[in-house]
Structure 1
Amino acid sequence: MHRRNNVPATPVVVLLIHETNRSRILAVQLRYNYRAYPDATQRRALASAFGCARVVWNDCLRDRKEAHAAGLPYVKSAELSRLRITQAKRTEERAWLVDVSAVVLQQSLRDLDTAYKNFFDSILGKRQGRKVGPPRYKSKKDTRQSIRLNTNAFSLKENGTVYVAKVGNLKVKWSRRLPAAPTSLTVTKDNCGRYFLSFVVDTEPDTLPEVEAEAGIDLGLSAFAVLSDGRKIDSPRFLRRAEKKLRRLQRELSRKVKGSKNRAKARLKVARQHAKAADRRRDWHHKASTQIIRDNQAVYVEDLAVSGLGRTRLAKSVHDAGWSAFVGMLEYKAALHGRTFAKVDRAFPSSQVCSACGFRDGPKPLHVREWTCGACGTVHDRDHNAARNVLFEGRRIVAAGRAETLNASWSAGKTRTKVPAQRGEAGSPRKGPTAQAGIPGL
């Protein structure tokens, strides 16, 4: 698909995977992003909506923080809705809340509830992944803003526009058809001033024809990925390519007076250059991950500690590679298309074990790109050998998991499970054996 006006070449798709029995999920929700082009009046209306949603969030958050500090019970959502939305509209101080759809205000309160739930679940150990802190106040200086709407506050028009309550009909660049009627909409303004509409759509998995090939993947920096069949995918290094122009734009930004309009313009130029690199990287990730999923019935990849590597001298190269986003795409596309996907524990010594005989040869520094097994004499390319070991370990993990699942839930039968799409602004908690994959909204 051709790219125009910095529109993502493919829609953003987000998926949560949940398995409770032998079968894969039977219903999923996907998220599609499209570029929107509001006129001046609509931009002012959206700015008002962003601001009102932020005020409701901050007011409700303040009430809960003050109640907690005073030793009072947790303030319920119904009480906050009555005080900070219904009654606030009747006051002189918050009378302008009536200019925005009530759905926007209620969804802001629901997002706060979700943020608190994620925080509590994280404290109690119910939420997997990184620890989540308590909700924080939102600033009007935030460069990325969004509002959420349900079907009561938006509709698709026959002329190709999207009606948003108290905003009007928005022009949209439809880079791809929606597969079904959307169930919710998020309107986002990113840090370089672009507007996007993010639709959540209920759909069925699109199972691909089965193939015999399976792939283990070793991710790296010199080569972005090496597959167990010997294929190497070169790293595109989009951020590195843009560094020269970014350095010039950053110098221009540093010379501008803080708070001036010229500084705001210079900041926008820097943000647009970063967004351009991010869009290209995302498009490349989509194409590479789709090809791997189409070519292989099962895909296995090492669970890298990306956040840790992001604090080393390799940080810029690690962030430029975008491993987490790529692995997330592999994960949700595997679930969507009926493929097997598994992550191999990061502690697994994929670079130390001979993939031919299984002999563990010990750790090796990064500059060693080729080595000879001390037991069988096989000469290995470091990355190819690691990819083969990831393949073998992934097969073992999947086989063990299937045996455990069969023993635990043989009599449970198949249950139709609808899987919600992840929201970028508040996230979705993961329960039990849930694995999450996603592409952050723009």
Structure 2
Amino acid sequence: MRTSYQYRLKPTKEQIKIIDNTLDMLRYQYNYLLGQRFEWFEQNRCSIDRCSLVVCHIPELKDKPNRFSQQATLTQLKKDRTWYKGIHSQVLQEVPKKVEIAFDRWLKGDNTGKRSGKPRFKAKGQYKTFTYPQFKREHFQNDKITLSKIGIVKVIVHRQIPDGFDIKTVSVTKKADGYYVTLSLDDKTVPTVKPDFKPENIAGIDVGLIDFYVTSENERISAPKFLRKAERKLKSAQRKVSRRKKGSNRRKKAIKSLAKQHKKVADTRKDFHFKTANHLLKKYDVIAVEKLNIKGLAKTRLAKSINDAGWGQFISILTVKAENAGLKVVAINPNATSLECSSCGQKVKKPLSQRMHNCPSCLTSLCRDLNAAINIKNRGAHDLKAQIMSSMRSL
């Protein structure tokens, strides 16, 4: 099982200078290697490599740059540009890996076949993370961490690493309010289902914009709307950035202040998601949620409110925490959960503005979101039963 712990770093002024310089040099190298990929793509995007006309000249196809061929050039890079010797070799080798991932996701897509946009060159300040792919546990002791080529850096350890976890990788990140280190931890043990797991202790939750969620037991939490509440401060900070002269120190300070405001909103939202997930998992063994197309919904006129709610992040946190606790989250088909009557199953069409579900067939009258939550619970219970039966047959 993999998990990540993030701690705040307290580097000295000299260490800050080294970290910033490392990020800037890695950015130059990232842009150079990405440029090599684009050059190859433009020259070799057509598969035809010969022509029947004698007078027509087509240059030879070049070999496609890959992660390993680009890593092989780093030795010569350190000879030509000696200042790159100040970066740990494995940290530098991670740059071609990042370039390959970004380039392949654009051309081929990820494991599910979804393609990303065309990779962009990194402007100053946009390359914010570097990674040590190997790390020894003894280099992280008490409140200090030893980072190669940087030195011993103080860490604010707000929680201890659990016993039995190995540190696999270490990433240093520059954020708006300082520097952070992220430890990727690996536990050899596989999470098992809770011994007193009760499949019948199930709840369905319907996420929304008025109430963040409504459960099938009619428990609801109002949407906190962190971005909406912070809009005045964000507008004020953005106005200061717009009024400052480009390239001036005052503009840099204004940009940093704006970034801090945005980070505060994101951190507050994430903290709310974690606490909400913990609350639900303490009450229920199984939670049924809708498999929503959040990216599609975020392109509608409700985009700001949907992004402010952060449903995707919440469901992701809920799923991971459930797995770690030996509990279960069941994703169900969201089709017509709001239209179907939870009592008789008849579809009752209604506009989004109508917040009550009134069934003309069985005369059921209840909150629209509660009706959807009950339908989600019923579908989740059905899908869970099918999964259990399937696993029993395989045994």
TM-score greater than 0.5 by the shorter chain: yes
CA contact (8 A) 1:154 1:162 kept: no
Partner of 2:337: 350
Q: Deviations over 1:188-228 (max 9, x none)?
A: 112x1421111111124375442452111100011100001
Question: Between the two proteins, what is the percent identity of the paired residues?
Answer: 31
Q: Structure 1 residue 88 and structure 2 residue 77: aligned?
A: yes
Cα distance in 2, alignment partners of residues 260 and 77 from structure 1: 38
For residue 160 of structure 2, give the secondary structure of its aligned residue in structure 1: coil
Q: Cα distance, 1:307 vs. partner?
A: 2.1
Q: Structure 1 residue 77 and structure 2 residue 67: aligned?
A: yes
Q: Which range is displaced more, 165-174 or 240-249? A: 240-249
Q: Which range is displaced more, 290-299 or 300-309? A: 300-309
Q: Deviations over 1:356-386 (max 9, x none)?
A: 1111122x11221113211111112100000
Q: Cα distance, 1:129 vs. partner?
A: 7.2
Q: Cα distance, 1:152 vs. partner?
A: 4.7
CA contact (8 A) 1:223 1:233 kept: yes
2:300 pairs with one of 309, 312, 315: 312
2:174 pairs with one of 189, 212, 219: 189
Partner of 1:329: 317
Cα distance in 1, alignment partners of residues 389 and 107 from structure 2: 34
Larger relative contact order (CA 8 Å, sep ≥ 6): 1
Higher helix share: 2
Structure 2 counterpart of 1:189, one-letter code: K
In our comparison, the structure showing a higher alpha carbon Rg is 2
Q: Structure 1 residue 221 and structure 2 residue 209: aligned?
A: yes
1:374 pairs with one of 355, 360, 363: 360
Partner of 1:266: 254
CA contact (8 A) 2:137 2:166 kept: no
Q: Structure 1 residue 400 and structure 2 residue 386: aligned?
A: yes
Structure 2 counterpart of 1:114, one-letter code: I
Partner of 1:199: 183
Q: For the structure 1 residues 291 and 118, does the alpha-carbon distance in structure 2 shift closer, same or farther, using more than 3 Å as the test?
A: same
Compute the TM-score of the two structures, normalised by the length of structure 2.
0.88
Partner of 2:13: 40
For residue 244 of structure 1, give the secondary structure of its aligned residue in structure 2: helix
For residue 276 of structure 1, give the secondary structure of its aligned residue in structure 2: helix
CA contact (8 A) 1:162 1:171 kept: yes
Q: Structure 1 residue 167 and structure 2 residue 139: aligned?
A: no
Q: For the structure 1 residues 130 and 106, does the alpha-carbon distance in structure 2 shift closer, same or farther, using more than 3 Å as the test?
A: same
| Structure 1 unaligned blocks of 5 or more | 1-27, 412-442
Partner of 2:233: 245
Partner of 2:51: none
CA contact (8 A) 1:154 1:185 kept: no
Cα distance in 1, alignment partners of residues 43 and 137 from structure 2: 40
Q: Deviations over 1:331-375 (max 9, x none)?
A: 1112222212122223x101101101111122x112211132111
Structure 1 counterpart of 2:111, one-letter code: R
| Structure 2 unaligned blocks of 5 or more | 45-61
Q: Which range is displaced more, 209-218 or 398-407? A: 398-407
Q: Deviations over 1:27-85 (max 9, x none)?
A: x10011111121111111111221222233222222232223333232233321222x1
Structure 2 counterpart of 1:97, one-letter code: Y
Compute the TM-score of the two structures, normalised by the length of structure 1.
0.79
